Amino acid sequence: MSETNALGAFLRARRELVTPEQAGIPDVGVRRVPGLRREEVAMLAGISADYYLRLERGRNRNPSLQVIESIARVLQLDEDHFAHLLTLVSEVSRKHPRRARRETPPPGALKLLDALTQPAFIEDRYFDILASNDLARALSPGLAAGGNQLRDLFLNPAEQALHPEWENVTECFVANLRQAIGNDIDDPRFIELTGELSLASPRFRRLWARHEVRGQRGTPIRINHPQVGELTLNRERLSIGGTDALMLVVFHPDAGSADAEKLALLASAGQAVRSGSAPSPGRSRRDPSGVPAVRH
């Protein structure tokens, strides 16, 4: 999905999300457009309606910082959205887009990945999985190397079933992708991925059209695992030094919690499968999957 006028698409999407009431404008009469009109944004930003129209239509791509700050104030952009807006108007960013090469994880990161006792994997800015450890794959088969988290979240019912808060998770991932790509919208991998998802998923199309932007931050995530039940894990993303945009993602439970116990059971079940061992009869009650039953 190519966006030749990324600045205009962003401005239009964001103004449609601001109501006249939020902007302090009396909402009278019939409005044919959602959110604010172009002339209302221009008036509130202190610029001419013609100038703002040229910005939205891509006829002027080099506004001053003062103009951008005024528009950002009217559109009520937070820090992430404002930073993204700057990438869309930056002359340097436009002439020299940040083009990430398809990287492979450095050896040191792979050694660290193998040494971790929590679910962990390495991802790139497109949410492709480049490497993962056994416990990550036990948590979700979609976290195997070669998978893509966005594709699985939107197109794989089994992956969707893992996430009780699927709608929030998909919103977060799409906003993260928008932030990661910035102005590099002609990146072939980006075009391929967003094109596929736009054709196959109505929800992705709706979320992508909102132009939400959000940086990647640590956050708790709920998972409804078919073997050990529901658990909440903390998800941390750590930048890998010496790479362009690779991240080490680690899921970890709160110490001493029921979630930690469930994760330990999942890990021990995986070890038993790999070693070919099985516990003595009567030592623990198991479900048909072979994972010890968890007391809730």
Residue 275 is predicted with a pLDDT of 56
Type of residue at 36 = L
Q: Are residues 14 and 118 in the same domain?
A: no
Residues 131 and 89 in one domain: no
Is the distance from CB of 125 to CB of 100 less than 8 angstroms?
A: yes
Does any domain span residue 281?
no
Distance CA 291, CA 272 (A): 10
Q: Do 88 and 235 share a domain, yes or no?
A: no
Based on the fold, state whether residues 123 and 224 are members of the same structural domain: yes
> SS3 sequence, the chain?
CCCCCHHHHHHHHHHCCCCHHHHCCCCCCCCCCCCCCHHHHHHHHCCCHHHHHHHHCCCCCCCCHHHHHHHHHHCCCCHHHHHHHHHHHCHHHHHCCCCCCCCCCCHHHHHHHHHCCCCEEEECCCCEEEEECHHHHHHCHHHCCCCEHHHHHHHCHHHHHCCCCHHHHHHHHHHHHHHHHCCCCCCHHHHHHHHHHHHHCHHHHHHHHCCCCCCCCCEEEEEEECCCEEEEEEEEEEECCCCCCCEEEEEECCCCCHHHHHHHHHHHHHHHHHHCCCCCCCCCCECCCCCECCCC
Q: What is the pLDDT of residue 3?
A: 56
The answer to whether residue 280 is domain-embedded is no
pLDDT at 286 (0 to 100): 35
Question: What is the structure's pLDDT at 83?
Answer: 87
* Interatomic CA distance for residues 25 and 42, integer angstroms: 13
The CATH number covering residue 203 comes to 3.30.450.180
Q: Does 289 reside within a domain?
A: no
Q: What is the pLDDT of residue 102?
A: 65
Last residue of a domain, one of 69, 95, 121: 95
Domain with 66 in it: 6-95
Q: In terms of domains, do 232 and 254 share one?
A: yes
169 and 87 in one domain?
no
The CATH number assigned to the domain holding 14 equals: 1.10.260.40
In this structure, the answer to whether residues 116 and 255 fall within a common structural domain is: yes
Residue 293 lies in a domain: no
Please check whether residues 203 and 267 belong to one and the same domain.
yes
Q: Which residues of the chain have pLDDT under 70?
A: 1-3, 90-102, 270-296
Same domain, 173 and 246: yes
Q: Is residue 265 part of a domain?
A: yes
- Residue 182's pLDDT is what? 80
Structural domain count of the chain = 2
Q: Same domain for 117 and 28?
A: no
Domain end, chosen from 95, 119, 154, is at: 95
In a domain, 88, yes or no: yes
Asked if 51 and 150 sit in the same domain, the reply is no
Q: Which positions ≥6 away from 105 have C-beta within 8 Å?
A: 113, 122, 130, 131, 240, 243, 246
The reported pLDDT for the residue numbered 65 is 85
- Where among 95, 123, 141 does a domain terminate? 95
